[in-house]
Amino acid sequence: MTEARAAAIDVQGLSKSFGGKRVVDDFSLRVLEGEIFGFLGPNGSGKTTTIRMLCGLLTPDGGQGTCLGHDILSEAAAIKRQVGYMTQRFSLYEDLSVRENLDFVARVYQVPGRRQAVERALEQLGLGARGRQRAGELSGGWKQRLALAACILHAPRLLLLDEPTAGVDPQARREFWEQIHALAAGGMTVLVSTHYMDEAERCHRIAYLAWGRLLTQGTVEEVIRGSRLVTWTVTGERTGGLAEALRREPGVLLVAAFGNALHVSGTDGALLERSTARYRADPALRWRQDEPSLEDVFILNMQHAAEQPA
């Protein structure tokens, strides 16, 4: 992505409270046209609220900005007409066929050339052979395709995906992301909230939110580098009780199990090396210094979020 592209979203200082609790606090972000932007964070971190404010679906209490060239405060209706919104819960009619569902959505949006638009969506998402099948008979992956087809029927410029692949098998998730990248290549901007690290890595840029605040943003490489984490991977036959012992050592901020290995991380490399020296001397354990992963950064941020007062 290059800054030569126009900004699809450009907001500053957004805030939102519910029942006296600040859910989003002083949030600023710039998203480029055709960019896939991922939002990560623990439950209750403000991801969904933020996404909905960015595109005019929810009015912020404070702040300002634009989405698709329209003011998010005064021109929300114009923004909504250019947005497709897909949630993790399938919300179409299960007793209608795939084609009937799409035709109904096209009528609601008053899509010009409705029948042709439905046929294009069926073809684009590989649903043509299932047009007569009832939606309730589809597997999770095919329901997901149908939901995406319904979201793009009216040719939106901005697509919102709120945990879109929850409960979907890995093959269907992979195919779904291929479709998302094809849409972005065609100029559509995509905002997606997800807990899956492999999905976050498919985004052009990501942001991590906690306690309603933006903690970090950038490409995956920039976010990992900005965490300043130093990570060691430990394997061997006696890692079972090692994790708890390591967590008590100075400079050890994260000990996470990955299969038969442990990732041991901290931000002070010298202190981490001193604190683990006696464990690294154990011949039954194999230690190697690795690049930290996005999942290491995510887990560490989750731990920090859990330590904060509600």
Please state, for a pLDDT cut of 90, what percent of the chain lies above it: 68
Rounded CA-CA distance 260/107 in Å is: 54
Please state the separation of Cα 42 from the chain's center in Å: 11
Do the domain assignments include residue 146? yes
* Residue finishing a domain among 223, 255, 273: 223
Residue 70 has pLDDT above 90, yes or no: yes
The model's confidence at residue 2, banded by pLDDT at 50, 70 and 90, is very low
Q: What is the pLDDT of residues 99-141, one digit of tens each?
A: 999 999 999 989 999 999 999 999 989 999 999 999 999 988 8
Query: In this structure, are 211 and 247 located in the same domain?
Result: no
Do the domain assignments include residue 300? no
Total count of residues recorded for the chain? 310
Extract long-range pairs of 167-173: CB within 8 Å, 24+ residues apart: 167/88, 167/140, 168/140, 168/141, 168/144, 169/140, 169/141, 171/141, 172/139, 172/140, 172/141, 172/142, 172/144, 173/199
Query: In this structure, are 121 and 262 located in the same domain?
Result: no
The model's confidence at residue 83, banded by pLDDT at 50, 70 and 90, is very high
Do the domain assignments include residue 298? no
Query: In this structure, are 19 and 111 located in the same domain?
Result: yes
* Residue finishing a domain among 188, 223, 258: 223
Do the domain assignments include residue 306? no
Q: What is the pLDDT of residues 17-27, one digit of tens each?
A: 999 899 999 99
Residue 193 has pLDDT above 60, yes or no: yes
Find the CATH number of the domain harbouring 240. 3.30.70.2070
Tally of domains within the chain:
2
DSSP class per residue in 102-140: HHHHHHHTT-TTHHHHHHHHHHHTT-GGGTTSBGGGS-H
Find the CATH number of the domain harbouring 219. 3.40.50.300
Residue 33 has pLDDT above 70, yes or no: yes
Query: In this structure, are 145 and 246 located in the same domain?
Result: no
The model's confidence at residue 1, banded by pLDDT at 50, 70 and 90, is very low
Q: Which residues make beta-bridge pairs with 29?
A: 11
**Number of other CB atoms surrounding residue 89 within 10 Å:** 10
The model's confidence at residue 179, banded by pLDDT at 50, 70 and 90, is very high
Do the domain assignments include residue 305? no
Quick one: which of 198, 226, 189 has its CA closest to 30?
A: 189
Query: In this structure, are 258 and 195 located in the same domain?
Result: no
Do the domain assignments include residue 141? yes
Please state the separation of Cα 255 from the chain's center in Å: 24
Query: In this structure, are 249 and 217 located in the same domain?
Result: no
Greater confidence, 158 or 172? 158
Q: Which domain holds residue 249?
A: 230-291
* Residue finishing a domain among 223, 240, 267: 223
Do the domain assignments include residue 138? yes
Residue 305 has pLDDT above 90, yes or no: no
Contact (CB, 8 A) for 86 and 146:
no
Query: In this structure, are 193 and 74 located in the same domain?
Result: yes
Query: In this structure, are 217 and 246 located in the same domain?
Result: no
Query: In this structure, are 45 and 165 located in the same domain?
Result: yes
Query: In this structure, are 254 and 150 located in the same domain?
Result: no
Burial of 110 (0-12, 13-18, 19+ CB in 10 A): exposed
Per-residue confidence (pLDDT) for residue 298, from 0 to 100: 87
Query: In this structure, are 182 and 60 located in the same domain?
Result: yes
Query: In this structure, are 125 and 11 located in the same domain?
Result: yes
DSSP class per residue in 155-194: --SEEEEESTTTT--HHHHHHHHHHHHHHHHTT-EEEEE-
Q: Which amino acid is at 60?
A: P
Do the domain assignments include residue 307? no
